[in-house]
Structure 1
Amino acid sequence: MELRHLRYFVAVAETGSLTVAAEQRLYTSQPSLSRQIRDLEDQVGVPLLTRSARGVELTAAGRAFLDHARLALAQVEAAAEAARRAALPARQMFALGFLTGQEMTWLPRALQLLRDELQGIDVTVSSYYSPDVADALARGKLDLGFLRAEPGYDLEYRVVNRERLVVLMPSDHPLTARESIRPADLAGEPFVMASNKARVLHDVIERYLRDNKVEVTPEHGVDNLAMAMSLVASTRGIALMPEYANNLLPWSVVSRPLEGEAPTVDLVVGYSGANSSPILKLFLSRLDELAPS
């Protein structure tokens, strides 16, 4: 079994189509890709995909194989990244990643923790969607990330903040007259829902609505805060989002707290337990100093 077999299988599983995977992800011919998948199934000893007129679907064995295939590819990429870093000059590097928008609050605090070492290290900063931060950590492209506790990655997570959810609405919405929003006020409003890509936030919102017996019909799914604010403004919808949204609101969108005990979503720092960076070790030893004021 070769790495290309794993890459080909993951591409087919993620696109749901041999043709799309061949043409848009792998840049190979569809017959060649089909042969590679058959070779992989022969080596594994069980069917991994079922083929139909609609495309391809994973078998139970294929679903189990997919998680391990992704992990194996991530570990290979992490090993290559570690080798590339080891070949660099002696000056140490430290790569930070943030759930987009969180760097406004947490980057100054993170750099303060490294204040004594900043003259001797190169710090890089990136921002992505939370699952992309987790993926970059797993692949060794980031040393530390501020993100949600994304499932399915071989990472360590430590909570640094619990953010209350707030209600986002158009600035001229009738509910802006209220100082706080009751759960029942959400019923019947056009609702902008966190999508499955923002799985951690999606599950918190879904649980809050269910516990309060509020039925909404999500009209739009979003995977990031910027998209949520745009849709709230343009469709006159309502959204539940973490309170750090207050730092980024345009004039056309306002927020109100939820009445009673608001749900919270954890912000964590994530890192790979296999990362031996001394800067990471130092950062984690000072993590208690990072707590929000």
Structure 2
Amino acid sequence: MELRHLRYFVAVAEEGSLSVAAEKRLHTAQPSLSRQLRDLETEVGAQLFTRSSRGVELTLAGRAFLDHARLALGQAAEAVAAARRAVRPPKASFSVGFLTGQEVEWLPHVTAVLRNQLKDIDFRVSSDFSPDIAEAVQRGEIDLGFSRVEPQPDVSYKVIAHEPILVILPGDHPLAAKAEIDARELDPEAFIGYSDTPHVLRAIVERYFRDRGVVVSPSHFLDGFATGISLVASTRGVTLLPAYVVPLLPGSVVSRPLKGNAPVIEVAAGYRADNPSPVLDSFLERLDELISSRAAAQRLER
């Protein structure tokens, strides 16, 4: 039994027609295809197809044979690919982790900086909570992390942006009619607070409220922007989140700036200085280009 017999069999089984398989899939003459299938049935020792004027259908034996034929063809293709990979030099890998939601904002700028290297590297992208991104950088699981400044042994940070923190609220909320919202106008019991996970954001907001004498008593707590947006939509509460979530808001939820000197939260690129990756070295040399391209894109959006 040869691989071509299996390819012919699978093509006919999937097309349900000898003529279609011969012409469109296999580019061979139909009589030759029929002969190859008869040879295969002789070797298997069972009829694999029933033939009629409407085409061909698999017999019970044919259905049993089909899965194994596909598997054998797949394994043969993988064997060829593995052999070809073995004679090619391995690509350098470069992995980037984003604070969930930030990949929408930053990934296009990252790939622009890496545009001349992408074809030569195994580029991997992931997203997670900010503390988890920092820990992954510290453990060497990712080369570069876009997160808050999360102190970790051996992890260095370069602040690349300052995101304003906005009020996130239902579109038909009375405060949504205002161009700016004073923090003291927020309903203390309707405010959606923060779990331990977004601890940097929580600390900034708590300090901001404390400086203004604002006291909240939340009954709901978010652990990430997606949970926060969902809670605003479902409970009709209000919360504060960084501006990068605005493009991700559903139609029923809106954002408004805080009145006066609003708080900001840093976005930083974290990495290990002892990481030997030449791709990381090249990227860090062009980090200012990344910052400039993102700032230019924001100006165009305004």
**TM-score normalised by length of structure 2:** 0.66
After TM superposition, the structure 1 = structure 2 runs for residues 76-115 of structure 1, keeping only pairs within 5 Å, are: 90-115=90-115
Could you tell me how far 1:189 is from its partner in structure 2? 4.5
Secondary structure of the 1:145 match is strand
2:181 is matched by which residue type in structure 1? I
Secondary structure of the 2:270 match is strand
Secondary structure of the 2:219 match is strand
Could you tell me how far 1:194 is from its partner in structure 2? 2.3
After TM superposition, the structure 1 = structure 2 runs for residues 112-151 of structure 1, keeping only pairs within 5 Å, are: 112-151=112-151
2:141 is matched by which residue type in structure 1? K
Taking structure 1 as reference, are residues 97 and 172 closer, same or farther at Cα in structure 2, changes over 3 Å only?
same
Per the alignment, residue 235 of structure 2 pairs with: 235
Per the alignment, residue 211 of structure 1 pairs with: 211
Per the alignment, residue 256 of structure 2 pairs with: 256
- Which string of whole-angstrom CA distances, capped at 9 and with x for unpartnered residues, describes residues 122-157 of structure 1? 100101111111111111110001101113443111
Q: Answer yes or no: is the 8 Å Cα contact 2:188–2:218 preserved in 1.
A: no
Structure 2 runs not aligned, ≥5 long: 1-87, 297-302
- Which string of whole-angstrom CA distances, capped at 9 and with x for unpartnered residues, describes residues 207-250 of structure 1? 10001111111222211000000111111111000001101001
Secondary structure of the 1:246 match is helix
Distance 1:209 1:219 in 2: 17
Per the alignment, residue 175 of structure 1 pairs with: 175
> After the TM superposition, which of the residue ranges 239-248 and 89-98 deviates more from structure 2?
89-98
- Which string of whole-angstrom CA distances, capped at 9 and with x for unpartnered residues, describes residues 165-205 of structure 1? 00001121111111110121124341112222111111111
Q: Answer yes or no: is the 8 Å Cα contact 1:161–1:267 preserved in 2.
A: yes
Could you tell me how far 1:274 is from its partner in structure 2? 2.1
1:106 is matched by which residue type in structure 2? W
Distance 2:257 2:286 in 1: 32
Taking structure 1 as reference, are residues 152 and 120 closer, same or farther at Cα in structure 2, changes over 3 Å only?
closer
- Which string of whole-angstrom CA distances, capped at 9 and with x for unpartnered residues, describes residues 4-45 of structure 1? xxxxxxxxxxxxxxxxxxxxxxxxxxxxxxxxxxxxxxxxxx
Distance 1:127 1:160 in 2: 18
Distance 1:190 1:151 in 2: 32
1:286 is matched by which residue type in structure 2? R
Distance 2:153 2:170 in 1: 37
Secondary structure of the 2:119 match is helix
Aligned residues: 206
Distance 2:245 2:153 in 1: 26
Per the alignment, residue 11 of structure 1 pairs with: none
**TM-score normalised by length of structure 1:** 0.68
CA RMSD of aligned residues (A): 1.4
Taking structure 1 as reference, are residues 89 and 198 closer, same or farther at Cα in structure 2, changes over 3 Å only?
farther
Distance 1:137 1:152 in 2: 9
1:157 is matched by which residue type in structure 2? Y
Distance 1:288 1:106 in 2: 13
Q: Answer yes or no: is the 8 Å Cα contact 2:167–2:181 preserved in 1.
A: yes
1:193 is matched by which residue type in structure 2? G
Q: Answer yes or no: is the 8 Å Cα contact 2:138–2:152 preserved in 1.
A: no
Per the alignment, residue 186 of structure 2 pairs with: 186
Distance 2:175 2:147 in 1: 31
After TM superposition, the structure 1 = structure 2 runs for residues 158-169 of structure 1, keeping only pairs within 5 Å, are: 158-169=158-169
Secondary structure of the 1:93 match is strand
Please say which structure displays the higher CA radius of gyration.
Answer: 2
Structure 1 runs not aligned, ≥5 long: 1-87
Distance 1:161 1:152 in 2: 20
Calculate percent identity across the aligned residue pairs.
49
Distance 2:150 2:125 in 1: 20
Secondary structure of the 1:188 match is coil
